[in-house]
Amino acid sequence: MTDTGTPLPDIATDGGHPHDGPHGYASDKEAYLKRMRRIEGQVRGIARMIDEDVYCIDILTQVSAVTKALQAVSIGLVEDHLGHCVVDAARASEAEGAAKVKEAADAIGRLVRS
C-alpha cells in the first residue's frame, strides 16, 4: 500500500508492460539481485535496531544508507531502460519510441517525487 492508501500493483503477477525479448537489465540481472539482497539485509537490520531500541539517529543513518542504495538501483534501471527498451522501441517505430519515452518520463517522475 502506498502512503496515500492506494494498493501497490502486484509486480509478481502484473507482468508490467509488454516487451518482447530480454529486459534492459538482463545482462546485469545477477548484480541487481546481489544489490537487492544486500539492501534486504540492511532493512532487516533496521527492523532489528528498532526492536532493540537503538538510538534513533543511528537508525536514521541506516535508513539513509538504504535509501541511497535503492536510488542507485533505480538510476541503473533507468539507464538500462533508456539504453535498451527505449532505443529498441525507437528503432521499431516513431510511435513505439514516443510511448517508451513517455513511460520512462513517467517512471522518472515517480522516482523524483518519492
DSSP assignment of 39-73, as one string? HHHHHHHHHHHHHTT--HHHHHHHHHHHHHHHHHH
| pLDDT tens column, 80-110 | 999 999 999 999 999 999 999 999 999 999 9
- Report which of residues 27 and 81 the model is more confident about: 81
Indicate if the pLDDT at residue 21 is higher than 70: no
How many CB atoms are located within 10 Å of the residue 83 CB? 11
Indicate if the pLDDT at residue 79 is higher than 80: yes
Report the pLDDT value the prediction gives residue 114, as an integer from 0 to 100.
74
Residue 105 in grid coordinates: 518520463
Domain residue limits, the chain: 11-113
Average of pLDDT values for 59-84?
A: 95
Question: For 6, phi and psi rounded to 5 degrees?
Answer: -85, 145
Report the pLDDT value the prediction gives residue 5, as an integer from 0 to 100.
53
Report the pLDDT value the prediction gives residue 66, as an integer from 0 to 100.
98
How many CB atoms are located within 10 Å of the residue 7 CB? 7
Please say whether the dihedral angle defined by the alpha carbons of residues 69, 4, 16 and 78, taken in this order, is positive or negative. Answer: negative
- Say what the pTM is: 0.71
Q: The domain 11-113 belongs to what CATH superfamily?
A: Metal-sensitive repressor, helix protomer (1.20.58.1000)
Report the pLDDT value the prediction gives residue 9, as an integer from 0 to 100.
46
